[in-house]
A and B are shown apart, each in its own frame.
Chain A
Amino acid sequence: MLVHTVTFRQARQFVPAVIPIVAATGLGGGAWTVAALVVGVTLLSLGTAALGWWRFRYADGPASVVVTRGLLSRSVRTVPNDRIRGVEVETPLLHRLLGLVRVRIDAAAGAVNGKDEELVIDGVPRAEGDRLRAAVLTHRSGPVAEEGAEPAAEEEFARFDNRWLFYAPLVGSYLAVPLAGVGALFRLAQELPARFQPDIDGVQISGVGALLAVLAVALVLLVAGSVIGAAVVNWGFRLTRRGGSLVAARGLVTRRHTELEIDRIRGWTLSEGLGMRWVRAARAGALVTGLGDAARRGQLLPLGPREEARALGIRLVPEPGPLRPHPPAARRRRIVRAVTAGLLVTAAGAVTTPLLGWWWVLVAGLVLLVLGVPLGLGRYAALGHASGEGSFSVRSGWLVREQAVLQDRAVVGWQVRQSPFQRRAGLATVVACVGAGSGGYAAVDMAADEVGAFTAAASDQWARTFSARAE
């Protein structure tokens, strides 16, 4: 069954037309040149879009999805259904106006160089998108019991409370949104012809009051920008269970539905940034085997109260119990590492102050030295590990504190590392290698004599190889 895709890429291709306008005005060409360029570029992009649309075919069969495309060099991609790890249905604003969706099929089958891991079927009608998603997911191997039965019951796991948007100013990634906006504005201002540029140089800030006012306005803009940014991405976030999968829907302008298979979930992470810890906020993400772009797609709760995020994770994989702190030697090690930079700068300062009179190097070194102590203590406070019934957990990090909770069966290997310093302090770092998330989760500076017990408790019996000889 070959289906023509409806596309409207033409509309988007108008955007490049803006570039020649800028270029031509910059070069000082007349209005006619500009108009000709705009028309030419538009026609060209319309033409390529139409050709691309005309040459694009997709078909979903009982065993695989086939996508054929390309104008001169044809490419045919076949993805077997049981290699499909997830389907994402996206509706950007323009798609929504025209009643279309974009379907992304995450195929973890041999990606050639890691970047082309997904099939994108752009611009199909909404009903066709839903049909495609359902068809691709139900055709997969496994019991297809509910063929023809009523759709599986939906159960709501989480719903975004708009009050949580006020956490956004404390989250680094959302704060970056308004900053990026300001950067883009400046770049645009530089590209504009000189006569349109606002006369910034003429503005003089005089007096402390004016400076404070400017700072206050900037702060308000930053806060507002981050809240708006968070709202655009997370508006109406809803996580529901539909049969054997979790469906996350979110977005104000671009609406996005992501589907995760519960069977493939091996654990979850709870991350709390420095600012988020102040207000007990956190984000939760699922660790799913073979999921491309896991950081974005695996999100269980993008932003919310810590307890809410944690409860959500526990519904998927239970927590192994309270984390055990690491031995005092680990605290010493964290502090030593945190003050090393300060010590080096102080030593340099001790040399340069009498020789060159650079006393500020000494001051900077001492400040770094003093700041290093709370940093080390904070980093130590984050460390912890626990193992329990069927799952285990490790936590580390200071700028972003991340706790990972994983099922025992997720572990595909253990790595134990010990540097000479750790050896003297009786510590070791244990990394659980998992085929999900970042690939490895570390318990940093664990007591060396606990390693055997922890690895044995946190995975199957093969981990006893660490302590028992095979004979």
Chain B
Amino acid sequence: MTTTTTTTPSPVREPAWPLSRSAIGLWVTESVISSVFLGMGLAAFLIFVPAEPGTPLPVLRWVVPVLYAVYVVLAVGVRPWVRFRVHRWEITDEAVYTLTGWLTRTWTLVPISRIQTVDVTRGVLQQMFGLSTVAVMTASSQGTVQVWHLEADVAQQVADDLAHRAEQVRDQAT
């Protein structure tokens, strides 16, 4: 379950550790909530915008619900599991390393010596699933690493460890 089959080898290696399995539940919940809101918006659109013959609206009347159904199946039934298989993280002696994404994958590597701040955040939904996010910030606006959905105690431990080590090896270069 850890390796994803691709036609060509990935540009860099995978980080070693998978996320907590509770992340799947969290992603499913998030998708369900956003699907409900999107569905309400679409229903309102279909109810309140009158269909007149000769406009593309009659076509939209059945295209939109079909697209919506496809979206719900993908977002609730497929995406959380794909994400769980893709997302990985690792903390080595020198760096924080993550792989995120669903279709487009993003590998981020930040050396511990360049870490400026380490944050732990817990969203409302995350708290229900006992998860936390560790965000590692550097001097670059684009050089932020976020390790999503770790178990709360692991996240706290990781953040403390990173902050401590960054303190020791920090160089003044930014």
Contacts and interface: CB of A to CB of B under 8 A. Distances in A.
Interface in B97-140: 97, 103-114, 138-140
A419 B8 CA distance: 13
A465 B108 CA distance: 11
Contacts of B157: none
A413 B112 CA distance: 10
A374 interface: no
A73 interface: no
Contacts of B92: 465, 470
Given A413-B108, A417-B104, A424 B7 contact: yes
A192 interface: no
Interface string A422-452: 0110101001011110011000000011011
A433 B140 contact: yes
B143 interface: yes
Interface string A349-367: 0000000000000000000
Contact of B107 (A426, A433, A449, A466): A466
A433 B138 contact: yes
B143 to A, nearest CB: 3
A413 B140 contact: yes
A440 B140 contact: yes
Contacts, number: 123
Interface stretch (A31-39, A155-163, A384-392, A456-464): A456-464
Given A412-B110, A462-B113, A426 B140 contact: no
B103 A419 contact: yes
Interface string B147-174: 0000000000000000000000000011
A449 B11 contact: yes
A439 B11 contact: no
A414 B10 CA distance: 16
Contacts of B7: 423-424
A428 B11 contact: yes
B44 interface: no
B14 to A, nearest CB: 10
B174 A426 contact: no
Given A413-B109, A413-B111, A470-B90, A418 B143 contact: no
B11 A414 contact: no
A419 B94 CA distance: 27
Contact of B8 (A448, A461, A466): A448
Interface in A271-318: 289-290
B1 to A, nearest CB: 19
B6 interface: yes
A412 B11 contact: no
Given A431-B142, A466-B109, A418 B114 contact: no
A131 interface: no
A412 B143 contact: yes
B55 interface: no
A467 interface: yes
Contacts of B109: 413-415, 455, 462-463, 465-466
A409 interface: yes
A459 to B, nearest CB: 8
Among the interface residues A434, A449, A465, which one has the most CB atoms of the partner chain B within 10 A?
A: A465
A416 interface: yes
Contact of B95 (A289, A409, A435, A462): A462
A338 B145 CA distance: 32
Contacts of A115: none
A58 B157 CA distance: 46
A148 interface: no
Nearest to A424: B7
A440 B173 CA distance: 16
Given A417-B104, A417-B106, A439-B143, A412 B90 contact: no
A420 interface: yes
A460 B13 CA distance: 18
B9 interface: yes
B114 A423 contact: no
B12 interface: yes
B164 to A, nearest CB: 18
A426 B114 contact: no
A412 B166 CA distance: 13
Among the interface residues B97, B140, B142, which one has the most CB atoms of the partner chain A within 10 A?
A: B140
Interface of B: 6-13, 16, 90, 92-95, 97, 103-114, 138-143, 145, 173-174
7 contacts: A289-B139, A412-B140, A413-B143, A415-B107, A416-B107, A431-B142, A440-B140
Q: Which 6 A-B pairs have the closest CB atoms?
A: A435-B139, A433-B143, A440-B142, A413-B143, A439-B141, A448-B11
